[in-house]
Structure 1
Amino acid sequence: MYGLIHTEVLKLRTVRSPWLLLAAAPLLVAAGVSGLVVSGKKALDTTTQSGALSHVGLTSMFTLVFGILAVAGEYRHKTITDTYLSTPARGRVIGAKLLVYAVFGALAGVVSSLTGLGVAAAWWSDKAVPFVWSDSQIWTTIGGGIAWNAAFAAIGVGVGALIRSLVGAVAVALAWVALVEGIVGQLIGNLARWLPFNAGQALGAGAKAMAGENLLPRVGGGVVLAIYTLIFAVLAVTTGMRRDVS
């Protein structure tokens, strides 16, 4: 298994597109935090601090696509045949991809968190407002956002295994978030909070969002998201073992 993990890391080191994708995540966080402050609509208190850091979780859309690249990207570039020929135990190959991409998804969340903290602290200082580093809410928000990034990276691997077309898999994933959870979710009321993106929001949401939006409790959102991650991991492994490569 160590060899498979090393191979997946080596693939990531030699391909540019996943890194360009993950590099956009800290930019989103910096823009989100800055926009929150520049708008001037909220007092710079501890609640706003956690709200600013909730942008870390929203970068999970990047790690979702990052995970999709793990399998669908190989089908697109026709390298999946060589991958399975070198290691016929397909379940172990997919297992290595799930582990590596989840870890890198979490690391991407860490980088976004550091960016968010730095930008937020700079803005708070610029406004002559002390940034409360001891506030537990910002750390639970950050921790939830990092976990959300890791989970969506693993879910992305599952989506890429189920829909082997890279363009199709990305389109379906983004359409699910925008249409099913964004629009249809408004029509089904409380049931929407049990869907994956909403569960992630509950896990990585700031204090105000937790109080004002129809989300699961943070722990509940984490459990639901973990279940979705497990389901997609199982689907990725079983699909990879049963389908023909061609």
Structure 2
Amino acid sequence: MTAPTTVTTASRRPRKRLISAELLKIRTTSTWWLFGIGMVLVTLLALGLNMLVTHFQLDPPLDQIAAEQQAQVIADSEAAHTTAGLIKIAANLLTSGQYLGVLFAMIIGTLVITNEYFHQTATATFMATPHRTAVVLAKLVAAGVFGGLFWLISTLINLVGTPLFLAAEGVEIHLTDWEVIQAVLLNLLAFVMWTIFGLGLGTLIRSQIGAVIIGIVVYLASDLLLSILVPLIHNWIGQDWVLNLRVLAPATASTIMITPGEAFPDAPPQWSGFVMMIAYVLVLGGLGILLTRRRDIS
């Protein structure tokens, strides 16, 4: 009965060493802490903007709004003061910085694999560990750890600012509601998913600069393009299902995934964002493992 346990324990040690080695590779570069500083700045900016928007949503300056728009503004403000509205506001504030923050997670995932090709260390890495799948999985774990670190930095800032802001606004604070906690946890999942997205992209495109640029363009352009095209197509053919196509943009999918209720007017349901992100992770992560196993690394 002791043999299986011994084998299992022994098999775990190489995995731990691989993960430790990949974590060390990231830690010994300046990239991760530069991104960490960027995460702080992005979160502070996003949190400040969200607070400003929320302030005018909760207490709209009616004297500065046209008479024909006041009824809608008042209705939106009343909806914001409901329990559901306040939960959505709390979730939005606590996940401030996600839109640009996951870009850092994606780039970390991309650099984890493309650094090997850029510095021509891939051959040595895979000769030292012939089991390429194990190496890729170790890289996924290491990148995910740093994606989680970026999430932690952002969340801690939001946890400090959000209750202070909501208390100053004089509204009920819903930070412990399950929907709010769920949004924060799904935000962590989104950061980890984007590291896998980046690693898969880096496997497909070995050029470090090319992979990073294409990743950023895909992230930003797909969101912008579908936000323009989907309403146009909807108006043209008059089918409501077309509105759900916005979830195809990865950036939109992760935003929908973490937002209780509707992420924006006519947004697809929250579960669709989760399903789409899972699909991207499985496809890109699977391709990353498959191509790494079959390609000539030299």
TM exceeding 0.5? yes
- Partners of 1:106 and 1:54 in 2: CA distance: 13
What 5-or-longer segments of structure 2 have no aligned partner?
1-14, 59-79, 231-241
Matched, 1:214 2:267: yes
1:52 is aligned to 93
Q: Which of the pair has more CA radius of gyration? A: 2
Aligned ranges 1:10-29 → 2 under 5 Å: 10-29=24-43
Q: Which 10-residue stretch deviates more, 83-92 or 51-60? A: 51-60
2:236 is matched with none
CA deviation digits over 1:80-112, x for unaligned, max 9? Answer: 232122212222111111122123312321331
- Of 38, 41, 46, the match for 2:52: 38
Contact 1:181/1:197 (<8 A) preserved:
yes
Q: Contact between 2:18 and 2:138, CA under 8 Å: does it hold in 1?
A: yes
Q: 1:127 and 1:154 mapped to 2: Cα distance? A: 39
- Alignment-derived partner of residue 197 in structure 1: 251
Cα deviation code 1:86-142 (max 9, x no counterpart)? 212222111111122123312321331121121222333444555332333321221
1:237 maps to which residue? Answer: 289
Matched with 2:67 is none
Equivalent residues in 2 for 1:130-141 (5 A)? Answer: 131-141=173-183
| 1:245 CA displacement | 2.5
Q: Is the 8 A contact 1:34 1:120 kept in 2?
A: no
Question: 1:147: which partner in 2?
Answer: 189
Number of the residue aligned with 2:202: 160
Q: Secondary structure at the match of 1:41?
A: helix
Specify the code of the residue in structure 2 equivalent to 1:10. Answer: L
Q: Aligned-pair distance for 1:171? A: 1.0
The corresponding residue for 1:85 is 127
Q: Provide the C-alpha distance between the structure 2 equivalents of 1:23 and 1:205, rounded to a whole number of angstroms.
A: 25
* Greater Cα offset, 218-227 or 62-71: 218-227
Aligned counterparts of 2:156 and 2:261: Cα–Cα separation in 1: 19
Normalised by the length of structure 1, the TM-score is: 0.88
Q: Please say if residues 222 and 250 of structure 2, whose CA atoms lie closer than 8 Å, have aligned partners that are also in contact.
A: no
Deviates more, 1:150-159 or 1:54-63: 54-63
Identity of aligned residues (%): 25
Q: How far 1:185 sits from its partner (Å)?
A: 5.0
The Cα offsets for residues 159-213 of structure 1, whole Å up to 9 and x where unpaired, read as: 1111111110111111112222321453144323134322211112255526x24
Q: Relative contact order: is structure 1 or structure 2 higher (C-alpha 8 Å, sep ≥ 6)?
A: 1
Q: Paired residue for 2:216, among 154, 171, 174?
A: 174
